[in-house]
């Protein structure tokens, strides 16, 4: 759930409990592409949720849930609450404590506002909510985050890839930033990516190796495609399914 696709929509990224516009979800890209066939053989997946993103309006959520329900009997809904604090601090200048508090509240609100949408598909798929803040308390998280941080520090190609995606986004979407502000945002985007990827690695360890998301993932897709061969093994085992959402 990269910060590169944030489009604020209300307090939690959705405006109402029920969708007004109908969408259809289809596969845009699978990384690595060789795993596109047999996705459903995994039996379960996790859906990454970016808070305050227009990609998670009710109609779009409903489309994604229909797509998932046709393929997976179980799905973990990973709500990006704690990592969203980095986006809030970076783009809105909130202090760390305030950013975290607001991010956690946004996560709670998202779950409360969308629970009925997920429940509507319960006959086909069992959906379970999981917060990033919960995963970051797991013992495995500290190990995965340390491994990724060390790799980011040691491997120039990996570090440049992470920084390039953050720089590209902020250059396109943040207006005329002063150089110091741009560098600060690039650094915070890298922090976001490392925390987020460590969370994904923890889920792979728990048997959740297919991620579904309405968007692209840049460096993470490079890892799954084998372009960073010394990246943590759990991330190299991840399959990323990027969905395209079109209005019906």
Instruction: Give yes or no for residue 8 having a pLDDT over 50.
Output: no
**Whole-number pLDDT of residue 90:** 86
Domains of the chain with CATH codes: 3-10+25-247 (3.40.50.11710)
Confidence (pLDDT) at 11: 30
Higher pLDDT, 177 or 159: 159
* Higher pLDDT pick, 17 / 245: 245
Residue 26's φ and ψ, nearest 5 degrees, are: -140, 165
Contact 166, 185 (CB under 8 A): yes
Centroid of chain to Cα 3:
8
Q: CA 87 to CA 40: how far, in whole Å?
A: 33
Of the listed ranges 73-87, 140-154, 176-190, the least confidently predicted one is 176-190
pTM of the entire predicted model: 0.89
DSSP annotation string for the chain: --GGG----TTTS-S-SS-SS-EEEEEEEEESGGGSTTGGGG-EEEEEE-TT-GGGSHHHHHHHHHHHHTT-SEEEEEE--TTHHHHHHHHH---HHHHHHHHHHHHHHHHHHHHHHHHTTTTT-EEEEEEHHHHTTSHHHHHHHHHHHHHHHH-HHHHHHHHHHHHHHHHHHS-S--HHHHHHHHHHHHHHHHHHHHHHHHHHHTT--EEEESS--THHHHHHTTSSTTS-HHHHT-EEEEEEEEE-
Q: State both tokens at 43.
A: 């039996």
Over residues 183-208, mean pLDDT: 93
Angle between helices 139-154 and 156-173 (to 10 degrees): 90
Query: Which pLDDT value is given to residue 16?
Result: 46
Mean pLDDT of the chain: 88
Task: Report the pLDDT value the prediction gives residue 185, as an integer from 0 to 100.
Answer: 78
When pLDDT is averaged across residues 100-106 and rounded to a whole number, the result is 98
Q: What are residue 45's DSSP bridge partners?
A: 75
> In this model, does residue 137 exceed pLDDT 50?
yes
Query: How far, CA to CA in Å, does 168 sit from each of 90, 161, 172, 186?
Result: 15, 11, 6, 9
Q: Which residue has the higher pLDDT, 14 or 89?
A: 89
**Per-residue pLDDT tens digits for 18-39:** 556 899 999 999 999 999 988 8
Res 5 pLDDT > 60: no
Residue, of 103 and 91, whose pLDDT is higher: 103
pLDDT of residue 116: 92
- Residue 171 — very low, low, confident or very high, per pLDDT cuts 50/70/90? low
Give dist(CA 242, CA 211) in Å, integer: 8
pLDDT grade for 15, boundaries at 50, 70 and 90: very low
* Residue 59 pLDDT grade (very low, low, confident, very high; cuts 50, 70, 90): very high
pLDDT at 101 (0 to 100): 98
């Amino acid at each position: 759930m990269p910060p590169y696709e944030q489009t604020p929509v209300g307090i939690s990224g959705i405006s109402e409990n029920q969708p007004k516009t109908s969408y259809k979800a289809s596969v845009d890209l699978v990384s690595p592409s060789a795993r596109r066939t047999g996705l459903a053989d995994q039996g379960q997946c996790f859906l990454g949720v970016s808070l305050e993103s227009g990609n998670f309006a009710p109609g779009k959520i409903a489309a994604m849930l229909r797509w998932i329900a046709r393929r997976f009997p179980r799905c973990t809904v990973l709500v990006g609450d704690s990592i969203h604090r980095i986006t809030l601090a970076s783009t809105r200048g909130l202090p760390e404590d305030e950013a975290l508090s607001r991010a956690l509240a946004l996560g709670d609100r998202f779950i409360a506002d969308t629970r009925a949408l997920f429940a509507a598909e319960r006959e086909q798929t069992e959906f379970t909510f999981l917060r990033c803040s919960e995963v970051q308390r797991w013992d495995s998280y500290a190990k995965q985050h340390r491994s990724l941080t060390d790799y980011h520090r040691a491997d120039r190609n990996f570090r440049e890839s992470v920084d390039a995606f953050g720089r590209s986004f902020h250059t396109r979407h943040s207006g005329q930033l002063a150089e110091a502000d741009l560098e600060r945002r690039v650094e915070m985007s890298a922090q976001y990516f490392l925390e987020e990827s460590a969370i994904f690695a923890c889920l792979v360890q728990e048997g959740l190796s297919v991620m579904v998301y309405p968007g692209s993932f840049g460096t993470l897709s490079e890892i799954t495609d084998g372009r960073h061969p010394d990246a943590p093994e759990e991330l190299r085992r991840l399959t990323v399914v990027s969905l395209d959402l079109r209005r019906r």
